[in-house]
Amino acid sequence: MTTQTMKQQLVVVGNGMAGVACVEQILKQPHNFEITIFGDETHANYNRILLSLVLAGEKSPEEIVINDIEWYQTHDIRARLGVKIVGIDRERRVVIDEDGGETEYDKLILATGSSAFIPPIPGVDKKNVHVFRTLDDTRALLEQARPGLKTAVIGGGLLGLEAARGLQVRGCDVTVVHLMDTLMERQLDSTGGEYLKRKIESLGIRVMLPQQTAALFGNGRVDGLRFASGEEMEAELVVIAAGIRPNAELARRAGLEVRRGIVVDDYMATSDPHIFAVGECTEHRGQTFGLVAPLFDQGRVLASAITGNTGQAFTGASPAAKLKIMGVDIFSAGSIDESEPGVEAVTYEDPALGTYKKLLLKDNRLHGMILVGDIEDEHLYMEWMRSGTDLTPHRRQILFPPRDADPGREVADMPDSETICGCNGVRKGDIIQAIHARGITTLAGLKESTRASTSCGSCTGLCEKLLRAVTPDFQEETRTTLCACVPFSYEQLRDIIRGQKLKSVEEVLNVYGNRKGCEVCKPALSYMLDMVWCGEHEEDRSARFINDRVHANIQKDGTFSVVPRMRGGVTTPDELRRIADVADKYKVPMVKVTGSQRIDLLGIKKADLPKVWAELGMPSGQAYTKGVRMVKTCVGTEFCRFGVQDSTRAGIELERRLENLFTPHKFKMGVVGCPRNCAEATVKDLGMVGQEGSWQVVVGGAAGKSVRKADLLITVETTDQAMETCDLFFQYYRENANYLERSYDFVERLGIEKIRKETVYATDADKKKLLDRLARSKALAKDAWLERETPVHATQFVQIQPMEVQRT
């Protein structure tokens, strides 16, 4: 047999990110390997750096899997999961597993990673003391986590803070205990640490520093912490996040050169030419690694070297770290040691905004940085640092580098090899290739095909810039921040509410906001909760505008207007008589026919509302809220000489289907029996225009502050089809529009073509999902005026009378 046909055995010990990423690179090269991967965890390879998001409930364990079992099969890789390698016989070139089984290798890659460092504190072996390193650790923490659980996290570094936030989001009462006097002291200076501490505390996590833990006490289970100062703290759960140590024991026993980690050269070779190492278990030029980006670089270098295509060497990595806590932006890179000779610092801070920036320069070149609260320019700075750009011409604006002039400049400045998505190891070149190969035009498309920006999301802005620069017809996904109280986009908030299973406005504000909220975000969050949970949220009336507390429209004098529902604008003599009687009895100052073919009773006192509603005996017309207003109709075929469709009946039916539901903004509809359009359906949020033998369904019309002719969504033959089409658009608007975004802005923002694709042209399965969610909401929607019989609070409508008046 010749060497060409005989496969070489490549054994990889370690099924973590570094090892598997390296194998992925090897697969991209011409090679002659039969590959076996040993992993002592039983899971397929997952993205360890996203464990904090699993803990926080932002991702499920399945979502952080990078390579599923099929991937191993597809690439003919033998996956030996749950098998621990305990020895290496370098003479015979075999690895030995726990059961004494031996596996031969021609080349061996050690990717054994690192373990949590457990400080020698008495009591760390007690029950309920955990580390946070693996998926199993995360599951164990999730089993324990419950609201109110007194939790101490020992260690205020990156991982400790992420663990603390994850547990706090689960309701635990969390304290971070840190040995040093600055949080994340390896990445931040004392000012940056102070800004971070304030932000962490504002999220509701206690921070104790500097605080040395002397012992964990408790009988079997931990009951608390005793500090070196003699103070004690109660704790039912303790998480140790005091750093990591390379797993180098296997290599040490095999006689390889090991210092803190397994010593490797610039091509990732160990002291044995058949054995290589990659990832957190390595030590390169005296440096060990704990962050992901350099590991991908190491993997690429090793993949080239081991397949005989030796190219670029690994020359080390400057540290770069980003905290993955939503709403807390921290980035640090390079050397932050100001005392180094020749280093000068340029700083900026704004305590009110919580922004702190510090750039460290050496010979007019960027040497290190600390960014807190504003990390917009992170990539530009990294590029300056990587390329050693002479910053003399930029000095005047270095803290606020100008943008706009050439928005493509930043990405043009990056080499193809630059990593865009650190979480998933996606480089600029990979993205450009994917964009062209698959005709990607949206961020969503990019996420799907490259996984870039799917993890922590911090490279989203950069991915968008790349798309804009490269894609001929890039479609922007606009994101607007809801408000300063809870500074996330609508899209993020919907994800947060869904992902974290938040059911009330208070929960959202307490965990993700400023704990106060205001008249802008509270009603918006109320709406989102109602929509996301299809009415199964915890309704909080204090978060809603007065109109939605008493189901009537407040007027300039503090009285209210009452508009009963009159479906399709059709009424009866009986109804009119009752309206007249109510108007007389309550001395209603004005009775007005509205533009919506209904009758408005103006000037009603709050305390009279329940009686007025009862005496009217008609349901609420929702004229006071962001919800379904009315369906305006013409007389259609019933009476009109020209009518070709029964618009009145269709309008009444449409109103019945959608009434009592809430929408991002008010929602008006119209149904007309012929194109003469007497009830103005083409300037409504949703309209049906009757034609001979068909209906046009039109959307996004307006005749208010803006006037806009509605776009044709689709033409259908039957009234039933038209109704279903209306349902689809209605629910799609409910789910995807920003709060207070009228349908006409929504349709313009998304474009009618996208809306068609995702409603009338969607797959039957997707249509059914929309309709099912609408049906769930509708099943719980009630006529608000029934609260006259079952008020949500004893004094919802009642005017409180003083108990006793003491007269002078």
Partner 1 sequence: MNAVRGWTPITKADNIPLREGRAVLVGDAEIAIFHLEGRYLTIENKCPHKGGPLCDGIVSGTKVVCPLHGQRFDLETGMPVLASQPGCVAIFPTRVDDGVVFVDLGGACKAGEEAAA
Does the protein bind partner 1 through residue 802 (CB under 8 A)? yes
* Of residues 92 and 541, the one with the C-beta less far from partner 1: 541
Q: Shortest distance, CB of residue 284 to partner 1, whole angstroms?
A: 52
Q: Shortest distance, CB of residue 318 to partner 1, whole angstroms?
A: 43
Does the protein bind partner 1 through residue 623 (CB under 8 A)? no
* Of residues 517 and 687, the one with the C-beta less far from partner 1: 517
Give, in order, the Cα–Cα distances in Å from 522 to each of 527, 546, 787.
Answer: 9, 12, 22
Answer for which of 78, 127, 253, 516 binds partner 1 (CB under 8 A) is 516
* Of residues 220 and 558, the one with the C-beta less far from partner 1: 558
Q: How far apart are the first and last CA of the chain?
A: 115
* Of residues 392 and 808, the one with the C-beta less far from partner 1: 808
Does the protein bind partner 1 through residue 795 (CB under 8 A)? yes
Answer for which of 217, 227, 267, 545 binds partner 1 (CB under 8 A) is 545
Binding to partner 1 (CB under 8 A) within 250-309 occurs at none
Does the protein bind partner 1 through residue 519 (CB under 8 A)? yes
CA distance 632 to 634: 7
How is residue 170 annotated by DSSP? T
CA distance 641 to 101: 91
Say which residues have a Cβ less than 8 Å from residue 444's Cβ, sequence separation at least 6: 477
* Of residues 103 and 547, the one with the C-beta less far from partner 1: 547
How many Å separate Cα 696 from the centre of its chain? 38
Q: Exposure pattern of 602-622 as b/e (b: 16+ CB <10 Å)?
A: bbbebebbbbbbeebebbbbb
Options 114-122, 181-189, 508-516, 618-626: segment touching partner 1 (CB under 8 A): 508-516
Q: Shortest distance, CB of residue 115 to partner 1, whole angstroms?
A: 44
Does the protein bind partner 1 through residue 806 (CB under 8 A)? yes
Options 329-337, 563-571, 752-760, 798-806: segment touching partner 1 (CB under 8 A): 798-806
Answer for which of 315, 542, 691, 706 binds partner 1 (CB under 8 A) is 542
Binding to partner 1 (CB under 8 A) within 458-497 occurs at 485
Q: Shortest distance, CB of residue 540 to partner 1, whole angstroms?
A: 8
Say which residues have a Cβ less than 8 Å from residue 795's Cβ, sequence separation at least 6: none
Answer for which of 299, 523, 627, 651 binds partner 1 (CB under 8 A) is 523
CA distance 729 to 658: 12
Give the H or E element holding residue 639.
helix 636-639
Does the protein bind partner 1 through residue 513 (CB under 8 A)? no
Answer for which of 368, 422, 517, 610 binds partner 1 (CB under 8 A) is 517
DSSP 387-450: HT---GGGGGGTTS---SS-TTHHHHTS-TTSEEETTTTEEHHHHHHHHHHHT--SHHHHHHHH
* Of residues 346 and 554, the one with the C-beta less far from partner 1: 554
Q: Shortest distance, CB of residue 790 to partner 1, whole angstroms?
A: 15
* Of residues 353 and 803, the one with the C-beta less far from partner 1: 803
> Within a 10 A sphere around the Cβ of 448, how many other Cβ atoms?
13
Q: Shortest distance, CB of residue 805 to partner 1, whole angstroms?
A: 6
Options 204-212, 287-295, 732-740, 789-797: segment touching partner 1 (CB under 8 A): 789-797
Say which residues have a Cβ less than 8 Å from residue 730's Cβ, sequence separation at least 6: 658, 661, 663, 667, 686, 774
Binding to partner 1 (CB under 8 A) within 657-676 occurs at none
Does the protein bind partner 1 through residue 522 (CB under 8 A)? yes
Q: Residue 210, preceding bond cis, omega within 30 degrees?
A: yes
Q: Shortest distance, CB of residue 526 to partner 1, whole angstroms?
A: 10
* Of residues 268 and 485, the one with the C-beta less far from partner 1: 485
How many Å separate Cα 498 from the centre of its chain? 10
> Within a 10 A sphere around the Cβ of 484, how many other Cβ atoms?
11
Options 155-163, 460-468, 530-538, 788-796: segment touching partner 1 (CB under 8 A): 788-796
Options 209-217, 332-340, 512-520, 688-696: segment touching partner 1 (CB under 8 A): 512-520
Answer for which of 352, 353, 765, 794 binds partner 1 (CB under 8 A) is 794
* Of residues 200 and 483, the one with the C-beta less far from partner 1: 483
Q: Shortest distance, CB of residue 486 to partner 1, whole angstroms?
A: 12
* Of residues 165 and 544, the one with the C-beta less far from partner 1: 544
Binding to partner 1 (CB under 8 A) within 551-570 occurs at 554, 556-558
Q: What are phi and psi of 114, to 5 degrees?
A: -140, 170
CA distance 738 to 438: 30
Options 59-67, 161-169, 517-525, 727-735: segment touching partner 1 (CB under 8 A): 517-525
Structure tokens at 754: 């996208």
Q: Shortest distance, CB of residue 503 to partner 1, whole angstroms?
A: 16
The residues with which 216 forms a beta bridge, in sequence order, are 225
Does the protein bind partner 1 through residue 803 (CB under 8 A)? yes
Give, in order, the Cα–Cα distances in Å from 786 to each of 364, 526, 603, 606, 695.
Answer: 72, 20, 21, 15, 35
Q: What are phi and psi of 658, to 5 degrees?
A: -110, -10
CA distance 291 to 536: 41
Give, in order, the Cα–Cα distances in Å from 614 to each of 6, 592, 609, 624.
Answer: 89, 20, 9, 18
Does the protein bind partner 1 through residue 148 (CB under 8 A)? no
Answer for which of 549, 567, 666, 742 binds partner 1 (CB under 8 A) is 549
The footprint of partner 1 on this chain (CB under 8 A) covers a number of residues equal to 34
Q: Shortest distance, CB of residue 517 to partner 1, whole angstroms?
A: 6
CA distance 101 to 20: 22
Does the protein bind partner 1 through residue 801 (CB under 8 A)? yes
> Within a 10 A sphere around the Cβ of 669, how many other Cβ atoms?
27
Q: Shortest distance, CB of residue 782 to partner 1, whole angstroms?
A: 20
Q: Shortest distance, CB of residue 399 to partner 1, whole angstroms?
A: 30
Options 110-118, 263-271, 434-442, 792-800: segment touching partner 1 (CB under 8 A): 792-800
Nearest to 250 by CA among 10, 14, 45, 15: 14
Angle at 158 between CA 152 and CA 159, to 5 degrees: 55
Answer for which of 524, 543, 679, 683 binds partner 1 (CB under 8 A) is 543
Structure tokens at 441: 């035009």
CA distance 672 to 678: 7
How many Å separate Cα 495 from the centre of its chain? 5
Does the protein bind partner 1 through residue 804 (CB under 8 A)? yes
Instruction: Return the HEC string of 247-306.
Output: CCHHHHHCCCCECCCEEECCCCECCCCCEEECCCCEEECCECCCCHHHHHHHHHHHHHHH
Options 202-210, 423-431, 543-551, 755-763: segment touching partner 1 (CB under 8 A): 543-551
Options 264-272, 620-628, 691-699, 794-802: segment touching partner 1 (CB under 8 A): 794-802
| 3-state secondary structure (DSSP) of residue 547 | helix
Answer for which of 546, 762, 771, 780 binds partner 1 (CB under 8 A) is 546
* Of residues 537 and 549, the one with the C-beta less far from partner 1: 549
Does the protein bind partner 1 through residue 352 (CB under 8 A)? no
Answer for which of 518, 570, 591, 644 binds partner 1 (CB under 8 A) is 518
* Of residues 300 and 549, the one with the C-beta less far from partner 1: 549
> Within a 10 A sphere around the Cβ of 101, how many other Cβ atoms?
12
Q: How many Cα neighbours within 13 Å face the side chain of 405? A: 5
- List residues near partner 1 by CB under 8 A: 485, 514-519, 522-523, 540-546, 549, 554, 556-558, 793-795, 799-808
